[in-house]
Amino acid sequence: MIPQRINLLEGEWIDNSYRTILPYFAEIDIPIFRQVTAPLTHLYDENYWGILRHQDNHILLDPTHWYYNDDVFELYVKKISQSHSLSVCIGDPYNERPNQIELPCFEEKLFQRTRRLANIVKNAGNCKLLSPVIRADSDLQEQCLSYFIHNRAFFDVYNVYCDLHLDKKSTGILTSFLKSVLSILDKPVWVMRWAIPCYDERIVNSHILGSVAPYISSQKKACIEMVKIFETLTTLCNKNIKWFFTGLHKDAYNSLSKPVGKLRHFNLHEPWNHSHFTGIIDSQGNLKEEVFNTLVKLIQKYNDTTFR
């Protein structure tokens, strides 16, 4: 299956509401892909690797590989390369760096593993190698840009995350950084996390109070932001971009409980944050109709698709 301009992406964010979400897309002929973090604990489990072999998978490296030696890493990557997946991504290395590894040593290991991963994956067939995550994070831009300068030839696609609140400042940070990366070496861009946090209900749980609360947009405002960032990045990339919508779940916010982190790049001990409000189903189990309708309009406009 070939990705279109807009696609759906299953992953670790999927929950029990997924079965109620899919019927809403029943009349839309839109590709559905799956992102899988291949666990190192299954390294010697041949049954697992047999099941994993699927050409529509996007494979994400297990971040615990940083704790293993190079021989284990090479065996692990060879197993992944035999899965015939659509793509493989090294993940979000600078946010995954073990505390006990000093930055210079980590960067040397990162460069080595990038090259080894690229050699193994590209020798395995048609699997695309995705870059480390590109997101609106000004603290890591200098390190990441240096990484892309030295490793620009190894990736097939730049991997962008766009699933948090993007105000004017954050949008500027993301577009500026992506523009710098593209100027180093122009490549296709895949937005592998695309969702927009929004909430129309009254937030009654005190754990939401604080710096995050003002940035949870209403559906109406979120839809404007969603279209704006879509058009901004599409123009920046000269239309050489594909989007993977990841809001295929219910909001994790619950007024009767404390927050639980759902995605690995969020701290499990944080209060309610943007990641808990990115579902296309709100916390009461209702479809966010404005978000859904906006997504459908974008699909109608940009995908080469038909509606059943």
Answer whether 131's CB lies under 8 Å from 161's CB.
Answer: no
Phi, psi of 198 (to 5 degrees): -155, 160
Distances (CA, A) of 98 to 10, 95, 106, 136, 186: 28, 9, 9, 22, 31
The per-residue pLDDT for range 164-188, each reduced to its tens digit, is 767 778 888 889 999 999 998 999 9
Q: Which of 75, 91, 74 minimizes the C-alpha distance to 36?
A: 91
The full set of domains in the chain, from first to last, is 6-198+218-250+288-302 (3.20.20.80)
Q: How confident is the model at residue 256 (pLDDT cuts 50, 70, 90)?
A: low
Q: What is the mean pLDDT of residues 72-78?
A: 94
Radius of gyration of the chain (CA): 19
Q: How confident is the model at residue 267 (pLDDT cuts 50, 70, 90)?
A: very low
Q: What is the mean pLDDT of residues 66-76?
A: 94
